[in-house]
Amino acid sequence: MVDLAELNLKFHHIGVATRNIEKEMSYYKMLGYKESSDYFSDPIQGIKGIFIEAEGQPTLELLENLTDKGPLTSCLEKGIKFYHFAYETNNIEEAVNSLLTTNKAMVVVPITNATYFDKICFLMLKNMMMVELVQVNKER
């Protein structure tokens, strides 16, 4: 099994499924979180989102479906809010290939372009942990 440190992956955020970002924002503000990005919409993924940060706490990506039945529906129906950890990489292809071959991970969403990042890919690890790899746009 390959260690994330060997892949030079850097923790980026935790993905949070919500039914309505605006309604949930007050709870996160109560915990010290503030908006750290503009809202973004990604029709390819079928989601709307925003990043929020609080000192000494992990960055969160609050997400909601763009339609009634979107990619977050199954998580929301099961009561799962925190559904993925995201890691930043400079070479997403290399990181994906390494996780597939050495950790027997399974691709859930193949490498694709995204609105907020240059490229993303979702993988399921053998322990059923969802990992998102992100290749960050250099202008961000």
**pLDDT digits 0-9 by tens, 23-71:** 999 999 999 999 999 999 999 889 999 999 999 999 999 999 999 999 9
Q: What is the pLDDT of residues 102-117, one digit of tens each?
A: 888 999 999 998 888 9
Q: H or E element: which one contains 100?
A: helix 92-102
Instruction: Say yes or no to pLDDT of 140 above 50.
Output: no
Task: With beta carbons less than 8 A apart as the criterion, state whether 130 and 121 touch.
Answer: no
Total Cβ atoms within 10 A of residue 16: 22
Taking the model in full, what pTM does it have? 0.90
Pairing verdict, β 47-53 and 82-88: unpaired
Please state, as a whole number, how many other Cβ atoms lie within 10 Å of the Cβ of residue 61.
23
Residue 2 has pLDDT above 60, yes or no: no
How many Å apart are CA 119 and CA 70, to the nearest integer? Answer: 20
